[in-house]
């Protein structure tokens, strides 16, 4: 392209058309390119995991946050245990009260 | 990194231990009740806060009531069987069906009377406030709800 006139530069155009690269590709070039792509893709999650671990390591390096984490999990465990026990106790109580009623009332009593 | 692992794992272990411990302790009473020889009576004792002496008297009443109840159950089964035979033989209300229905109704009234009598005796054995609560609950579950329930046998 001639910058002054905005016309194609004929000599450059001709040189480009005639140019043939004389360097040949290294053996198994394609295969190695694909191997590098695969390797880099596999490294991305590992790096992410590593970054997370490093971040957590930094967070838990502060004792107050580590204690908060452990306390929160402890409290969650206690609450879950309490809630589950309460639920099961209510269920057992309802079942036993129903059994009492079935024993008392001949018209609700199961026959053998 | 090692400290991170220790913190993460100890948090999880503590949470699981807290859950199991709280659940195990919280359901100990229910488990004892269910393992009891007469779990229904165990439930009654727990629910209506009965003392040992009151519970012993109620357990005796319960035993005596169930003995009489067995006989009434046998009569109910007989009446039901008779009624079933009569109903399967016709598609109109015959005098026999009419009589069988009346007898079944009389038997039902008799059963309810005995049941109510037992409930009154049990409630009188309980502390007054618990007795009132028991009576209201048990009547609601049996006598009052009977009219809306299909017979189970």
Cross-chain residue pair A73–B23, CB shorter than 8 Å: no
Do A69 and A80 lie in a common domain? Answer: yes
Residue B22 confidence (pLDDT) above 70: yes
Residue A6 confidence (pLDDT) above 70: no
Structure-derived torsion over alpha carbons of residues B100, B105, B109, B111, reported in degrees to the nearest 10: 50
| pLDDT value, residue B145 | 73
Tens digits of residue pLDDT in B69-79: 888 888 888 88
**Domain assignment present for A92:** yes
For residue A10, the SS3 value is helix
Chain B touched by A96 (CB under 8 Å): yes
B111: Cβ contacts below 8 Å, ≥ 6 apart: A106, A107, B72, B76
Q: What percent of chain B has pLDDT over 70?
A: 95
Do A55 and A68 lie in a common domain? Answer: no
Cross-chain residue pair A89–B18, CB shorter than 8 Å: no
Confidence of residue A17 (pLDDT cuts 50, 70, 90): confident
Contacts of B66 in chain A (CB under 8 A): 103
* Tally of domains in chain A: 2
**Domain assignment present for A22:** no
**Domain assignment present for A95:** yes
**Domain assignment present for A19:** no
Residue B96 confidence (pLDDT) above 80: yes
| pLDDT value, residue A100 | 93
Tens digits of residue pLDDT in A70-79: 999 999 999 9
- Please provide residue A99's backbone torsions phi and psi, each rounded to the nearest 5 degrees: -65, -40
Do A68 and A105 lie in a common domain? Answer: yes
**Domain assignment present for A10:** no
Confidence of residue B151 (pLDDT cuts 50, 70, 90): very low
Do A42 and A74 lie in a common domain? Answer: no
Chain B touched by A110 (CB under 8 Å): yes
A66: Cβ contacts below 8 Å, ≥ 6 apart: A60, B7
Domain that holds residue A57: 29-61
Burial class (CB in 10 A: 0-12, 13-18, 19+), B116: middle
Contacts of A77 in chain B (CB under 8 A): 14-19, 22
Residue range A23-28: mean pLDDT, rounded: 81
Tens digits of residue pLDDT in B117-144: 999 999 999 999 999 999 999 999 998 8
Do A34 and A78 lie in a common domain? Answer: no
Q: What percent of chain B has pLDDT over 90?
A: 59
């Amino acid at each position: 392209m001639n910058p002054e006139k905005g016309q194609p530069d004929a000599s450059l155009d001709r040189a480009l058309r005639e140019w043939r690269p004389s360097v040949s590709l290294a053996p198994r070039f394609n295969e190695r390119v694909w191997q590098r792509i695969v390797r880099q893709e596999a490294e991305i999650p590992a790096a992410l995991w590593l970054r997370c671990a490093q971040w957590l390591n930094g967070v838990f390096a502060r004792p107050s946050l580590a204690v908060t984490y452990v306390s929160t999990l402890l409290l969650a465990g206690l609450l879950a245990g309490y809630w589950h026990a309460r639920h099961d106790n209510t269920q057992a109580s309802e079942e036993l009260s129903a059994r009492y009623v079935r024993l008392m009332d001949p018209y609700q009593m199961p026959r053998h | 990194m090692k400290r991170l692992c220790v913190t993460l794992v100890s948090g999880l272990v503590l949470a699981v231990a807290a859950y199991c411990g709280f659940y195990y302790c919280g359901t100990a009473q229910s488990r004892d009740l269910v393992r009891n020889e007469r779990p229904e009576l165990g439930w009654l004792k727990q629910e209506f806060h009965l003392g040992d002496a009151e519970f012993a008297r109620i357990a005796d009443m319960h035993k005596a009531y169930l003995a009489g109840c067995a006989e009434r159950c046998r009569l109910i089964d007989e009446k039901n069987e008779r009624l079933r035979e009569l109903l399967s033989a016709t598609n109109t209300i015959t005098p026999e069906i009419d009589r069988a229905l009346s007898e079944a109704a009389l038997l039902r009234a008799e059963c309810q009377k005995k049941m109510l009598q037992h409930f009154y005796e049990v409630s009188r054995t309980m502390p007054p406030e618990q007795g009132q609560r028991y009576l209201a609950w048990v009547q609601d579950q049996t006598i009052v709800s009977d009219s809306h329930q299909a017979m189970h046998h």
